[in-house]
Structure 1
Amino acid sequence: MWRRWLFLVLGGALFTPYAVFGWVVVPLAVPSLASMADVVFVCVAMASVFVAIVLSSLAPVVRTVEGALAVLLLGGPAADLVVARAQTWTERRRAAAWYLLHTVVGALVSLLSVVTPVVVIPLIASWAGGRAVTPVGASEVSVPQAWAPLVALALVAVLACAVWAAGSAAARTAPSLLGPGPAARFAALERRAAELHERNRLATELHDSLGHALTVITLQAGAARTVLHTDPAFVEEALHAVERTGRTAAADLDHVLGMLREDAGTRAPQSTLAELDALLASHRETGLPVTLAVEGDLSRLPAVVSREVYRVIQEGLTNVQRHAGTVPTSVHLVLAGAQLKAEVHNAAPPDRVVHHRRGGGHGLEGVRQRVRLLGGQVESGADGHGWRLLVTVPTGARR
């Protein structure tokens, strides 16, 4: 209640310079107004005040300050108000209406706040002395002795009701007049959807990269442990592979976390098909016999296609290591026309049949999401001789 009363009084204070402009500056600038009828003079003065208020409300700082005051003092529905710069004339008109109401209603409440104690205090003081009168201008108005307390209480109640009603109305109206319009809200929703999409992409990126790294490190460590005392040279090479894989994973992690920061000026470059040989080499070091066949010039691929297909192959090889072990595996890429086909095929383990859950795990779901965003297709499943993952993407696809 008190904060809303302060908000209204501030509106009255803001109204004062406009009143001086309309009632003093304008008559001085147009002397002929003095000879006009009182009604015309009042109408011209008030029109000047309203025009000045509306024009000044178009300044961006006015909308910002009004929004801050509404959030700080009004509370209620206005507490969560977010005020941005007006983007359309509709938003500017709503802001002008708000500023006009704030100053005019604030001036009326301020006037009532000044008049009420001026009337009530002398009335109560004179009533206590046996003669209930209150000053009105240069004269005095008598009030029946028995009615004086009720009149004083009624005046205070009127002021309180005026403050409560005006403050509540302002708190309810602020979001619609100062808040964003439909276009701004739609733009904000689009930005939010883009942010969520980017975060989901980064989560998939991190899952694929770290999943691959952990799989390679686990296999290398396990192999090194089994020959720890019999083949020191192999153990040393395995530890070097663990070190290289860990550094690569740390670089990928730094890259992803850097993209989540607002100031990410130094970001590690994302892996593309140009680093495919290094990816396969890291798996060969774990004992996976993987071969590569490429048809076409992969260097002319769009960066987004090269990057996402690299991650698809990385996920495919990681799944081979997890589910089938070190079995013969082939990677085949064919770039023909406007399509790129990438296939990861592994033989079935000699001691067990390859079983993958229908629909795939989180890794295959990430592959489907990547390929879907590129406008391509995914095929995966057992083919009688092992497991086959095939993706087909248009080379001109945009995410």
Structure 2
Amino acid sequence: MTRRLIAPLVSATTCRRGAFLLLGGVLLLPYGLVGAGLAGLARDGGTPLAVTVVLSAAAAVIGLAPPFLHGARVLEVAAARWLLGVELPDPPGRPAPEARLRGALWFAVHLGVGAVVAFALFVAVPTAAALIMTRTGWTAAWWALLGVALLLATGYGVAGLGALAALMAPVLLGPSADERVAAIRAQARRLAERNRLARDLHDSVGHALTVTVVQAAAAGELLDRDPAFARRALTAIEETARAAMEDLDQVLGLLRPSPEPPGPEPPGPELHGAELPDPQLPGAEVHGAEVHGAEVHGAEPQAPVAGRPDLGDLGRLAAVAGARLVTDGPIGEVPAELSRQAYRVVQESLTNALRHAAPAPVSLRVTAGGPGLVVEVRNPLPGRGLAGMRERVALLGGELVAGPDGDQWRVRAEWHW
């Protein structure tokens, strides 16, 4: 019990909070000196009244300006963090008027309480010491007891005022309602951007690795019969893996937290080289918007496709995946962002088919018009990775339907704009 009573008096937290309160008294000192000087001018009578009034008005303007300045709030927040032990966010660059008023109120309270604490430490403590040490006679014990009580009252008063300051700091120095909403929205934008980057990383790099495995298998099978093809396949594997590593490093760098203040949502990064290599497939006939008879074995590997792909790159994608592609309508008129997202949905569907259902046939149909866009992928085995595809489709207000359709598994995505 005694330890709990003494703890506030010897706590390091109380010492830090007392230093914070004393800082307010130090800041009040220039105000006191200026006020005393102006009062002396007024009492002296030798200074014209108009001059005294002008000086007083100028001093009032100069003295009232700092509490409303953004820099003063930043310094108060930093002091509250270090000395009061309060977790406060960095104030925004342009605080709202309501936040400036709260900051000015905190500044004034800090100075006022600091003056009280300074008085207590520099007046009450010496007085208590004098009561304890200088009194003699039979009343000395009572005077000493009074001095000890004065010291205890001063210590507990400083501890209580420090605790109250720590309690009020988030109220007066914390973000306003509008600032909290803005921070939540900025955090939501950052999370959405990180989720988008994670999806792109999964689709692009995962697809590149899947194709690398398929090409490696083809190179191993044709190594004795067609060494030249095997060498080209190995070169394409090297280039694809190198590009995938560069994409991985780029996306991970973007996913790291940034110390910069939140701003407008940045545009999505360009993912280069982690897409499907562009093979020229022997036996694959290309007629307008159709790709027929693509076989993985015998594919002519080339360097990865640069840039962010869209529906215009579906021919290459379908060719290397061995899928039959049929397009209908002006897919070139599909909005750019929707075209890229639809390409990613097709890419993930074909990657899943290539990974889990190969060498089963896969059919792909893309229909544009209305205005609307429908993407449909069919293969004999149930699909995977549907959660990521649903999220990507819903991002632009689309709808994804996946399930058995007769003896096949169908994935159908539809958007309208």
In 1, the alpha carbon distance for the partners of 2:250 and 2:326 equals: 29
Q: Does 1:216 align with 2:211?
A: yes
Map 1:326-345 onto structure 2 (within 5 A).
Answer: 326-345=359-378
Equivalent position SS for 1:345: strand
Tell me the residue number matched to 2:160. 165
After TM superposition, give the deviation of residue 306 of structure 1 in Å: 1.2
> Which residue number in structure 1 is paired with residue 411 of structure 2?
389
Residue from 118, 142, 150 that aligns with 2:145: 150
In structure 1, distance between residues paired with 2:169 and 2:23: 16
TM-score computed with the length of structure 1 as normaliser: 0.78
Distance 2:270 2:347 in 1: 21
Q: 1:155 Cα deviation (Å)?
A: 2.0
The whole-number CA distance in structure 1 between the counterparts of 2:108 and 2:59 is 10
Q: Secondary structure at the match of 2:223?
A: coil
What amino acid is aligned across from residue 227 of structure 2 in structure 1? P
Shift of 1:53: 5.8
> Contact 2:375 / 2:412 at 8 angstroms: preserved in 1?
yes
Which residue is equivalent to 1:278? 316
Deviations 1:207-232 (A, max 9, x none): 12222222212222223333433442
What is the aligned partner in structure 2 of residue 174 from structure 1? 169
SS at 2:89 equivalent: coil
Deviates more, 1:380-389 or 1:107-116: 380-389
- Cα-to-partner distance string for 1:167-217 (whole Å, 9 max, x where unaligned): 111011111110112221122112222222222222222112222222212
Supply the distance in 1 between the matched residues of 2:109 and 2:376 (Cα, whole angstroms).
68
1:103 aligns with 2:111: yes
Question: Which of 2, 23, 32 does residue 10 from structure 1 map onto?
Answer: 23
- Distance in 1 (CA, whole Å) between partners of 2:247 and 2:225 is 34
Separation in 2 of the partners of 1:183 and 1:98? Answer: 19
Separation in structure 2 between the aligned mates of residue 24 and residue 110 of structure 1, nearest angstrom: 21
Task: Note if contact 1:341-1:393 (Cα within 8 Å) is conserved in structure 2.
Answer: yes
Which AA in structure 2 matches 1:204?
R
Q: 1:258 to 1:292 in 2, by over 3 A?
A: farther
TM superposition shift of 1:89: 2.3
Quote how far apart the aligned CAs of 1:125 are: 3.9
**Counterparts of 1:237-256 in structure 2 under 5 Å?**
237-256=232-251
Matched, 1:64 2:86: no
Rounded to whole Å, the distance in 1 between the matches of 2:366 and 2:246 is: 26
- Which residue of structure 1 lines up, in the alignment, with residue 276 of structure 2? none
| Aligned residues of 2:133 and 2:144 also touching (Cα < 8 A) | no
SS of 1:344's equivalent in the other structure is strand
Q: CA deviation at 1:119?
A: 2.0
Percent sequence identity is 40
**For residues 77-132 of structure 1, what are the alpha-carbon distances to aligned partners after superposition, in whole Å with 9 as ceiling and x for unaligned?**
x2x122403632222222122111110111111011111243234434423xx469
Corresponding residue number in structure 2 for 1:74 = 84
Q: CA deviation at 1:329?
A: 2.8
Q: Give the secondary-structure state (helix, strand or coil) at the position aligned to 1:147.
A: helix
CA contact (8 A) 2:103 2:173 kept: yes
Contact 2:203/2:344 (<8 A) preserved: yes
Amino acid at match of 1:73: L
Question: For the Cα contact (< 8 Å) 2:69–2:100, is it kept in 1?
Answer: no
Q: Distance in 2 between matches of 1:385 and 1:146?
A: 101
Alignment check: 8 A CA contact 1:255 1:267 kept: no
CA distance in 2, matches of 1:302, 1:167: 59
Give the Å deviation of 1:305.
0.6
Residue matched to 1:185: 180
Deviates more, 1:159-168 or 1:88-97: 88-97
Higher relative contact order (CA 8 A, sep 6+): 1
Q: Counterpart in 2 of 1:306? A: 339
Opposite residue 25 of structure 1, the aligned amino acid is L
Q: Is the contact made by 1:254 and 1:267 (CA closer than 8 Å) also made in structure 2?
A: no
Tell me if structure 2 keeps the 8 A contact 1:18–1:49. Answer: no
1:20 corresponds, among 29, 33, 44, to 33
Q: Give the Cα–Cα distance (whole angstroms) in 1 for the partners of residues 126 and 36 of structure 2.
A: 24
Residue correspondence of structure 1 range 347-366 to structure 2 within 5 A: 348=380, 354=381, 356=382, 361=384, 363-366=385-388
Contact 1:272–1:303 (Cα < 8 Å) also in 2 = yes
Give unpaired runs (5+ residues) of structure 2: 1-13, 48-55, 261-265, 272-306
**Shift, 1:24, TM fit:** 2.3
- SS at 2:375's partner residue? strand
Structure 1, unpaired ranges of 5+: 35-44, 133-143, 349-353
- 1:375, distance to aligned residue in structure 2 (A): 1.0
Task: Give the superposition deviation at 1:26.
Answer: 5.7
